[in-house]
Structure 1
Amino acid sequence: MPKIYTNKSWLDNDTFAAWTFLAPALILLGIFVIWPIAYLFYLSFTAGSFTSTGTYWVGLKNYWRLLLNPDFLQVLGNTIYFTLATVIPSLIIPLGLAVLLNRSLALRGMLRSAYFLPSIISLVAAGLGFRWLFQTTGPINGFLNSFGIAPIPWLGDIFWAMPVLIILSIWKQLGFNMVVFLAGLQAIPPSRYEAAELDGANAWQQFWYVTLPGLRPTLIFATITTAIFTLRSFEQVYVITGGGPLNSTNLLVYYIYQEAFGQFDFGYAAAAATVLLAVTLVLVYFQLQTWGEE
């Protein structure tokens, strides 16, 4: 009686074919994602430069410098404020627009294209436009002046400079999230709304008990992508404010850029980048745990 082998070798045809097709993607992932992250983590424990002097091991010194540096703590606070003030409106406003557009079949295509347009505009070009709009002699102050309101130094005031960056970021992310929510709304079966109407549910109750539960996967995706987009913000600061005034608009990515390519303190900048990576991973994990539970 012939022997029956129940365990397949990894060299069988199916396994070999699977690894063959996966190999290019895994190699690229290792070269361009895993290796840079691992090298960044190693670099955060070193000091020196990439010149002939080289780098040397300093242990946790760079992380202690971060904790004791008031500028870094201010930048971290700026980043948290900027992220919260950007992510929440970037979810609520597009969701409301998507609900309205989902009911307006005649204008849905045109309005969807109009709202999505900011998402495909270069962030540098948009930043230059916003800097022109909000300069002291710009159109925004000209409009306010017509109502007798004195000009506001938007980009030169520690209170008003950050809202300009927040408005730009919301405007940039609004169209993308709206299209995502609109696709999610169209995937909800109409029978659920019909059943809710038969049960006597009003418009708000239908939204709360039918729309939001049906959009749970879409909300998870939109929240994570918006948070990542916000945390990696660099162009807005670089083009509009340069981190000023008085470091009030300096965000973590721009701070890393300054330390790495302005001060050539690559070990310290790598430590700050590692902190940013850790914050991002924790935030994504928290969002998955919050939105993902049934």
Structure 2
Amino acid sequence: MERVCSKVRHRLRDPVTGLLFVLPVLVLFLVFRIFPTLGVAGMSLTDWKISGEWSFVGGDNYARLFDDPNFLTSLQVTLVYSAIYVPLTVLVALGTALLLNSVIFMRGLFRGMLFLPYVTSFVFAGIIWRWIYEFDGLLNGLLARIDVGPVAFMEESALVLPALALVSVWKGFGYSMLILLAGLKAIPGSYLEAARVDGAGPFQRFRRITLPLLKPALFFVLIIETITAFQVFDTIYVMTGGGPARASYTLIYGIYEQGFRFFDFGYAATLGMVLFAVVLVISLIQRRLMDRGNT
């Protein structure tokens, strides 16, 4: 009997020890993630005033979404922005990862230089790129040399989203580049060498070996960048303020405007829950695709 009790205590000791190690992070996650999410979900069912007074309205805020043209505009703008930003980021990150994987001399220096924009401030990047896009800025100065322009990148509704997406790609591709570079390093060199001996060219090796083995990393990068696209705010706040004519009015900017300009916290919380639902669905898709890729 004592031997059985000793085995039970031994089996329980490891999980308890592990739980104690993760407990601080778990508490932080509950305080700063779970509890605020539950609070926002509750707030979305109320008419919450800036004074702290509130009244329960049930699903009225959610019904209001379908009659709000600004919500439909923000959803459309977010989808269009994501359709531009995500493929471009993945392509740039994949291209730079392939180049870094083939570079031998000063690889660390090139990796640091390409990753540097990712660790810069979004506000700083927005200010610099706004100057680049101005009528008398750097880009229009270069276009003038070939008798083109000037182009109103920030004032044209058709150009503002591609221009903002380009800024975000420059700012954020470094993270995905490192993920894909790690995936490339995990591919056994013997596979590529065997294909080279069999007469496969660079494109065939990439298509038949590199790309299939890189699928898990590509899936991860694709979903992470999609979530990033739905959460874009800093660049738009600094560069356009949602304009011109709400051409860059995204979901996150709509949440900011409803909450901190109009102080309609209940409706802002409702928009936040919509965004949460979208990100949750994307995360579930990520989990499904990753599990399928592993099998």
Inter-partner Cα distance in structure 2 for 1:245 and 1:80: 17
- Counterpart of 2:8, as a letter, is K
Q: Does 1:227 align with 2:226?
A: yes
CA displacement at 1:50 relative to structure 2: 4.1
Tell me which residue corresponds to 1:34.
34
Give the residue type in structure 2 aligned to 1:31. V
Moved more, 250-259 or 110-119: 110-119
Q: Does the CA-based 8 Å contact 2:153-2:163 persist in structure 1?
A: yes
Aligned pairs for 1:208-219 within 5 A? 208-219=207-218
Determine the structure 2 residue equivalent to 1:176. 175
Of stretches 193-202 and 124-133 in structure 1, the one that deviates more from structure 2 is: 193-202
What SS is found at the alignment partner of 1:209? helix
Query: What SS class does the counterpart of residue 68 from structure 1 fall into?
Result: coil
Given the superposition, is the C-alpha separation of residues 116 and 20 from structure 1 closer, same or farther in structure 2, using an over 3 Å criterion?
closer
Distance 1:48 1:147, change over 3 A: same
Structure 1 residue matching 2:204: 3-state secondary structure: helix
More displaced stretch, 62-71 vs 191-200: 191-200
Tell me, what secondary structure is at the counterpart of 1:105?
coil
Would the alpha carbon gap of residues 18 and 115 (structure 1) be closer, same or farther in structure 2, given more than 3 Å must change?
A: closer
Q: Unpaired runs of 5+ in structure 1? A: none
Alignment of 1:266-281 (within 5 A): 266-281=265-280
* CA distance in 1: counterparts of 2:3 and 2:65, whole angstroms: 65
The one-letter amino acid paired with 2:18 is: A
Instruction: Single out whichever of 67-76 and 20-29 deviates more from structure 2.
Output: 20-29
Deviation of 1:85 after TM superposition, in Å, equals: 0.8
Unmatched tracts of structure 2, length 5 or more: none
What is the one-letter code of the residue matched to 1:184?
A: G
How far 1:225 sits from its partner (Å)? Answer: 2.4
1:222 partner amino acid: V
2:105 corresponding residue in structure 1: 106
C-alpha distance in 2 between matches for 1:7 and 1:41:
45
CA 1:28–1:202: 2 relative to 1, 3 Å: same
Whether the 8 Å contact between 2:219 and 2:289 is mirrored in structure 1 is no
Identity between Structure 1 and Structure 2 (%): 36
Corresponding position of 1:197: 196
Whether the 8 Å CA contact 1:244–1:250 is kept in 2: the answer is yes
How far apart, in 1, do the equivalents of 2:157 and 2:136 lie? 18
CA 275–148 in structure 1, closer or farther in 2 if over 3 Å, else same: same
Say if 2:148 is the partner of 1:136: no
Report the CA distance between 1:9 and its aligned residue.
6.6
Distance change (3 Å), C-alpha of 1:48 and 1:188: same
Q: Deviations over 1:204-243 (max 9, x none)?
A: 2211221122223322332232222222111111100000
Q: Deviations over 1:227-286 (max 9, x none)?
A: 222221111111000000100001111110000000000010000010001111112222
Corresponding residue for residue 58 of structure 1: 57
Q: Determine the C-alpha separation between the residues in 2 that align with 1:135 and 1:3.
A: 78
Change (3 A) 1:9 1:159: same
Report the Cα distance in structure 2 between the residues aligned to 1:88 and 1:36, rounded to whole angstroms.
32
String of CA shifts for 1:34-75, please: whole Å, max 9, x gaps: 1001111111111131415x1111111111111211111011
- For residue 47 of structure 1, what is the aligned residue in structure 2? 47
Q: Does the 8 A contact of 2:134 with 2:152 survive in 1?
A: yes
3-state SS of 2:232 partner: coil
Q: Which runs of 4+ in 1 moved over 3 A?
A: 1-16
Distance across 2 between alignment mates of 1:154 and 1:113: 30
Moved more, 239-248 or 130-139: 130-139
Structure 2 equivalent of residue 246 of structure 1: 245
> Is the contact made by 1:220 and 1:288 (CA closer than 8 Å) also made in structure 2?
no
**Cα-Cα RMSD:** 2.2
Whole-Å Cα distance in 2 between the matches of residues 17 and 148 of structure 1? 70
CA pair 220-159 structure 1, distance change in 2 beyond 3 A: same
How far off its partner does 1:185 sit? 1.0
Report the TM-score when normalising by structure 2: 0.92
Partner of 2:281, secondary structure, is helix
* Distance of aligned partners of 1:189 and 1:237 in 2 relative to their CA distance in 1, 3 Å threshold: same
1:293 deviates by: 1.6
**1:257 is matched with which residue?**
256
Q: Partner letter of residue 273 of structure 1? A: G
